[in-house]
Copies of this chain bind each other. A is one copy, B any other.
Amino acid sequence: MMAHKPLLYIVKLGGGPIDQPEALEAFLWSFANLALQQDTTQPIYTLLVHGGGKLATELGSKLGIAQQIHEGRRITDSETLKVVTMVYAGYVNKTIVASLQAKGCNALGLTGTDANLITAQQRAALPIDYGFVGDPTSVNTILLDTLFKQAITPIIAPITHNKLGQLLNTNADTIAQTLAVALSSHYSVELVYTFEKNGVLADTNNPESVISTIDKATYQTLKEKEIIHSGMLPKLDNAFTALEAGVASVRIGKADALLSLVKGQAGTTLTHA
């Protein structure tokens, strides 16, 4: 019998809801409820990873900084890095933290740079030069253990660094997956990707066509039939990698349905079998 691990929810908040104040507020109420729930049989911890929505793109445009996206990933020159650091680590992170504090959730905002929480390596310039974009190389799980024990909820912005003084823009889905895998040896990690849709859809034109469960074999079939394509592919690839590396469950669904999502009553659940 396995030792009983504390339960840890790692929630990724996607771009869509961040751009809509009402959707963000609804999500943050749900998240605060999740973080404040008590269980007499085990400790429950929560952690939030957020993106930046369209705010970084908007600010870059206002400042006249040309922006390029390649396969859903932002090409980050030095001016764009400054913009995403300001928006993700500054405005979005602190707005979320202040809102959660007002809801009774003891939130604390971090980036990967802080106490080396997530170090990263700048991506090679070939075949595509993404600029100051990093892929995670290590996680400081001791810092997170300490914060959880103090009933602090970490709120993480997707900026990392290379330990040589260079900040790096890093995909928030990848950060959520990296944290989930690194923490799964000491926690039973439930990874939840939230965004503006109800889940993985069988028909992208029908918001109600949520596929409730996908296992690895089904995923192959859905890919071959091109039912799942474009932006959803890296998200699901990340999710199955996390499951194989020891994460207990992965769910995908709408941000404001978080409390139903974690119970498997809404959205898509990915399973090993």
Residues of A within 8 A of B (CB): 59, 62-63, 82, 85-91, 93-95, 97-99, 101-102, 106-111, 113-116, 142-143, 146, 150, 152, 159, 161, 163-167
Contact = CB atoms under 8 A, between A and B. Distances in A.
Contacts of A106: 115-116
Contacts of A150: 115, 142-143, 146
Among A86, A107, A111, A152, residue most surrounded by chain B Cβ atoms (within 10 Å): A86
A80 B247 CA distance: 42
Contacts of A164: 102
B85 A159 contact: no
A101 B89 contact: no
Most buried by B among A91, A114, A161, A167: A114
A95 B167 contact: yes
Given A82-B91, A86-B87, A102-B165, 10 more contacts: A86-B86, A89-B93, A89-B94, A94-B159, A95-B167, A97-B114, A101-B161, A101-B163, A109-B111, A109-B113
B115 A94 contact: no
A116 B100 CA distance: 11
4 shortest interchain CB distances as A-B pairs: A90-B90, A102-B165, A86-B86, A86-B90
A91 B90 contact: yes
Contact of A98 (B90, B99, B113, B142): B113
